[in-house]
Amino acid sequence: MRRYVRGAAVVVAAVSGALLLACGGDDGDPIGSDPTRIEVTVRADGAAEPGVTVRLFNAGGSTPLTQGMTMSNGQVTFDDLDAGTYDVEVEVPSDMEMATGEARRPVPVAAGQTATVTFQLESVLPPGTEQVGLTGSLTFSPASLTIPVGTTVRWRNEQAIFHTVTPDGHSEWTRATVSNVGDTFEHTFNTAGTFPYFCEPHQNQGMTGTITVQ
């Protein structure tokens, strides 16, 4: 009796060893373990937006499975997921709103596939305010802006690149710097005229603009 039990134990161990060997015999990845992931892109005012919190839920769930923050390319990736449908939600910053679509959306992902979803945000501008973006491609966007007297212009840095908003030959405002993504500089134009300006580090790359006040 004791010998039989011992024998059985030896057999089990031998079978386990065979299974381990079999599993380790190929590249080590069981079939079907390719990454299953959701790649989320957040854009604001048409440019990649870093620093936005994104949460992942089971479909219809109220407690996030996990969350992440968009990087400088505006992306965050949730990987090692099970196939299925998830809800992806962006936390809209207080000075922004959804440009299109909902802040929370169902995203289906198949096994071994990468599902992608893009959220488009836009700045909420106070009345009487126009915005000029300082873009990652070293431009003011728009470069030329025509506004009525009394309008406030808000320059907003769209990427983590140091820029300046420097008056070119006038003193309508004092040179300003916008160092980081999301940094803004505002000036209210109460005098009609044409006001050229430039970015000091990127003037030679054509980073210039003009505000025309009528």
Q: How does strand 66-69 pair with strand 208-213?
A: unpaired
Q: Which is nearer to Cu ion, 74 or 209 (CB)?
A: 209
Q: Which is nearer to Cu ion, 88 or 182 (CB)?
A: 182
- In the complex, least distance from residue 182 CB atom to Cu ion, rounded to whole angstroms: 15
Examine residue 156 and tell whether it contacts Cu ion (CB under 5 A).
no
Q: Which is nearer to Cu ion, 57 or 198 (CB)?
A: 198
- In the complex, least distance from residue 198 CB atom to Cu ion, rounded to whole angstroms: 9
Q: Which is nearer to Cu ion, 115 or 134 (CB)?
A: 134
Q: Say how far residue 39 (Cα) sits from the centre of its chain.
A: 10
Measured distance CA(15)–CA(7) in Å, rounded: 12
The 3-class secondary structure across the chain, one letter per residue, is CHHHHHHHHHHHHHHHHHHHHHHCCCCCCCCCCCCCEEEEEEEECCEECCCCEEEEEECCCCCCCEEEECCCCCEEEECCCCCEEEEEEECCCCCEEEEECCCEEEEEECCCCEEEEEEEEEECCCCCEEEEEECCCCCEECCEEEECCCCEEEEEECCCCCEEEEECCCCCCCCEEECCCCCEEEEECCCCEEEEEECCCCHHHCCEEEEEEC
Question: Binding string to Cu ion for residues 175 to 214, with x set by CB under 5 A, is what?
Answer: ------------------------x--x----x-------
Examine residue 163 and tell whether it contacts Cu ion (CB under 5 A).
yes
Q: Which is nearer to Cu ion, 41 or 157 (CB)?
A: 157
Considering only the stretches 1-9, 56-64, 75-83, 159-167, report the one whose residues sit in contact with Cu ion under the rule CB under 5 A: 159-167
Number of residues that bind Cu ion (CB under 5 A): 4
Site for Cu ion, residues 53 to 92, rule: CB under 5 A: none
Token code pair at residue 6: 């011992």
- In the complex, least distance from residue 134 CB atom to Cu ion, rounded to whole angstroms: 6
- In the complex, least distance from residue 157 CB atom to Cu ion, rounded to whole angstroms: 9
- In the complex, least distance from residue 67 CB atom to Cu ion, rounded to whole angstroms: 32
- In the complex, least distance from residue 211 CB atom to Cu ion, rounded to whole angstroms: 17
**Residue numbers of the site for Cu ion (CB under 5 A)?**
163, 199, 202, 207
